[in-house]
Chains A and B, each alone.
Chain A
Amino acid sequence: MSKATQSEAEPGVALEINGQDVQAREGQTILEAAREADIEIPTLCEHEPLTNVGGCRMCLVEIDGKRTETACTTTVQDGMEIEVDTDDLWDHRRTILELMFSEQNHYCMYCEMEGDCELEDLFNEAGLDACEYPLEYNDIDVDTSHSEITLDLDRCVLCGRCVRTCDEVVGNDTLTFKDRGLETEIVADDGVALGESSCISCGACAQACPTGAIYTNQSAYRGREEECDVVTTACTECSLGCELEVYTNSGRIVKIEGVEDGADAGQLCEMGRFGLLGDSRERIDEPSVRGDGTVDTETAIERARESLEDAETINAVASSRLPTEVTEAFAASMDAYDASLEVPGAKRAADERRIAEKVAPLFNEHAGNLRASGPEAVLDAEAVAVFDTSIVDTHPVAASYVRRAAKDGATLVSVDADEDRFASKSDASIESGSALSRLTEDSVEVVEDDASALADSDTETLINAVPALEDGGISIIILGPEIEEEDTLINAYALAAMTDSKVLSLPDRVNSFVDGIGADDLHDDAEVAYLFAADDREDDLDRMVEVARTADTVIVQATRESILTKAADIVLPSLDWFERSGTVTDASGTDRELARVLDPRVAIDSDREVLSELAEGDILEVKP
């Protein structure tokens, strides 16, 4: 556990590394001190977000000419004289590398990681041009059972970065070591195929793997990192807005990775890492009008404008994946035609704001701002209550934080109408509707009547249901996307106020938070439905399809073909997630930047331009 020491302001330690004077802080490891002084020490099993274990022995250094220690696990001491590059040390390293080489298939030319491989780099640095040891060729089958991740343990050096990532970053403990010594191998769960294991397909292990032992199928053999451009943007698949590092080569996306030095430690979820790459629906390149087929953009917009102008009643629905600027432009544009606008999640956001403002002071006059600063705040919590554990599927990165907190000893209380998805990690599972119903009723009564009702309510039950929240120092209440009923929201915020907890509210997607936009009630039957679907897919489209069914004329602005575009009278193209730019607001209220990764190759260059023309120039400046 050498990581926690970095930020502590301790008195300085003076030492020498490779003859160079180095100032370090007490408690730092030799490796950390060397890196800060720009002195390179070779490493393999070390990985920035993880605990160091000193397993690979690459970072062996000579201390005071007497002993050798692993730099990643040895703390600095005043007056240490450290050598990194003696012939002896490089002999050690080369011997270890030759042993690794002799144990498995480390031939680079047909390996996915060739060119990006840390082991290959070390072979090169150590000058490995022959191998003294006989090849211990083990017959290890490649595990291709998982749809996104391939496990080729014949290229595994047992550095354990995947195991530690699965444990420390994802909190899922799927990958683990089996057996000892020469027999050691990485297995999923108790030795089942990865595709049949408890793996949540986040891909963090593949990102952490230094060799070609774990790689992702969609990105395999598509290009080396050094030949790629990298653009950082935000994910809009859920309301967390995780940062994505998108690697592109020659105008196509090679892979998506998480940011390792960020709070998420390189973690993404299946949707962010793989789902975004896998949308194979036909792209809508050009506008079309029913009966006329493909038309130019001006004609399509003109036709849409005519329909909107003639209509008495208009229903509009916007995807909740759009940047704030585009949502605002859409709202302004629809406003010009007196349309009723719905953005999924906007109602809940508005309800929550109202409830938080009203409820908090009733229960605790010092409550202040109840909103958690972000999902990482969960890690510091001593008690966590999760209302709606479906966040395991809908907000997997937040779920990882919850599991990590629970593993670190935080009390975890799950409240769910269905199965508790945190199962074994929960200290208490409360079925909403049973014990919780008391809680809810009590809280609602208090809110609806006045604070004095609290005295009459069964306060003890209330507190007993969540003793951890009451006792704990820092506590967090997480609200999943299915928590929409006013009663439950009131209950949760009341609970938060009473127990001095912070609330991390996780609606489905990011731009549910655009103030006052999209909370209109739609008409039962509208003459025209304008459905800005963008790259929404599958279940996301259900609501829009429902709205389309009740309209006479359907206008769809979408990125790809779907059941919705087939039903449309006018179809306008829309940008895909990697072409958009602007800002989104994440679950903690922080703005995150969306950056254009690739230029669009469709008839439009900007969603806002289309909207601007639709409103006949009513919208101000136009940016992509």
Chain B
Amino acid sequence: MSQATAQTEDDRATVATVCLGGCSGCHMEFLNIDHDLVDLLEDVKFEASHMIVDEKGVPEADIGIAEGVVTNEENIEVAEELRENCDTVVAWGDCAALRGIMSLRNDDDPDEMIDEVYLDKADEESESPRDDVPVPALLEDARPLDEYIDVDVYIPGCPPDAEVMAHGIEALLEGEQPEIVDEKLQYD
């Protein structure tokens, strides 16, 4: 990129993506748009997206995208920041849209579950990440994004196809509501 280009004003739309209680599978799948990512970058600037940009916060952006379910206290904060900092919010994947696989824990007691995983099934050195350990506390239930913030676009799928996620962004760039129907609407 030449000095001259860099100095001109960047009028690309901005996108910030976050991963809540998810496996990053949606983000991984998104990269499967492959070379199309290069074309997309002509119109879109990723302000945050943990697989392509080194940015830990939730910056302001035109489009905010969340993968994953809301399963701990930090997820709520990040989700609320996303809503506040972005004009349009998109839920990527079954977890963000419909709760997904993480919600299978909902009929277990969170404390018992944590002890089972970090104490009972680990070695003697292991500590339980509750009480004084500074990690986000688990919520009673894992819940979908729209139980905490307003969501404008839902793209279910586990993961959704890369092309469908890209289509979602492209439609929003055109000022349209993406139509996630027929073969674009999937649950696996």
Contacts and interface: CB of A to CB of B under 8 A. Distances in A.
Interface of A: 101, 105, 107-110, 114-115, 120, 123-124, 127-131, 134-135, 137-139
B187 A131 contact: no
B133 interface: no
Contacts of A109: 94, 101, 158, 187-188
Interface in B103-161: 103-104, 106-107, 141, 143-144, 146-147, 151, 154-156, 158
Contacts of A124: 182, 185-187
B176 to A, nearest CB: 16
B114 to A, nearest CB: 18
Given A130-B97, A130-B154, 11 more contacts: A101-B98, A107-B158, A108-B158, A109-B94, A124-B182, A129-B154, A129-B156, A130-B146, A135-B143, A138-B107, A139-B107
A130 B144 contact: yes
B162 to A, nearest CB: 16
B21 interface: no
10 contacts: A101-B98, A107-B94, A107-B100, A109-B187, A130-B98, A130-B154, A135-B106, A135-B141, A137-B103, A138-B107
A490 B180 CA distance: 71
Nearest to B104: A105
B181 A127 contact: yes
Interface in B32-89: none
Interface of B: 91, 94, 97-101, 103-104, 106-107, 141, 143-144, 146-147, 151, 154-156, 158, 180-182, 185-188
Contacts of A128: 185
Contacts of A101: 98
B146 A107 contact: no
Contacts of B94: 107-109
Contacts of A108: 94, 158, 187-188
Given A107-B158, A124-B182, A129 B97 contact: yes
B66 to A, nearest CB: 13
Given A105-B104, A108-B158, A135-B106, A127 B97 contact: no
A127 B186 CA distance: 10
Nearest to B108: A139
B126 to A, nearest CB: 27
Query: Chain B binding site: helix, strand, loop or mixed by DSSP?
Result: mixed
A61 B100 CA distance: 32
Contacts of B151: 130
A137 B98 CA distance: 13
A187 B49 CA distance: 48
B113 to A, nearest CB: 13
Contacts, number: 60
A107 B107 contact: no
A131 B146 CA distance: 9
Contacts of B100: 107
B70 to A, nearest CB: 13
B56 to A, nearest CB: 28
A311 B146 CA distance: 85
Contacts of A114: 187-188
Given A107-B158, A108-B158, A124-B182, A135 B188 contact: no
Contacts of A115: 188
B158 A137 contact: no
A137 B99 CA distance: 11
Contacts of A135: 99, 103, 106, 141, 143
A109 B158 CA distance: 6
Nearest to B97: A130
A137 B91 CA distance: 22
Contact of B144 (A131, A137, A138): A131
A139 B187 CA distance: 22
A129 B180 contact: yes
Of B91, B101, B156, chain A has the most CB atoms within 10 Å of the CB of: B156
Contact of A120 (B144, B181, B187): B187
B102 to A, nearest CB: 10
A602 B181 CA distance: 48
Contacts of B181: 127
A296 B101 CA distance: 55
Contacts of B155: 129
B117 to A, nearest CB: 18
Nearest to A124: B185
Contacts of B97: 129-130
Contacts of A129: 97-98, 154-156, 180, 185
A128 B185 CA distance: 8
Contacts of B99: 131, 135
B109 to A, nearest CB: 11
A145 B76 CA distance: 41
Nearest to A131: B98
Nearest to B187: A108
Nearest to B151: A130
A123 B187 contact: yes
Contacts of B91: 130
Of B103, B104, B188, chain A has the most CB atoms within 10 Å of the CB of: B188
A134 B143 CA distance: 9
A110 B100 CA distance: 11
Nearest to A105: B104
A134 B144 CA distance: 9
Nearest to A115: B188
Contact of A127 (B101, B104, B106, B185): B185
Contacts of B182: 124
B91 to A, nearest CB: 8
Nearest to A111: B188
Given A129-B156, A137-B103, A137-B107, A107 B144 contact: no
A109 B107 CA distance: 20
Contacts of A139: 107
A21 to B, nearest CB: 29
B141 to A, nearest CB: 8
A422 to B, nearest CB: 43
A139 B188 CA distance: 23
B169 to A, nearest CB: 16
A247 B94 CA distance: 31
A131 B156 CA distance: 11
Contacts of B144: 130-131
A110 B185 CA distance: 17
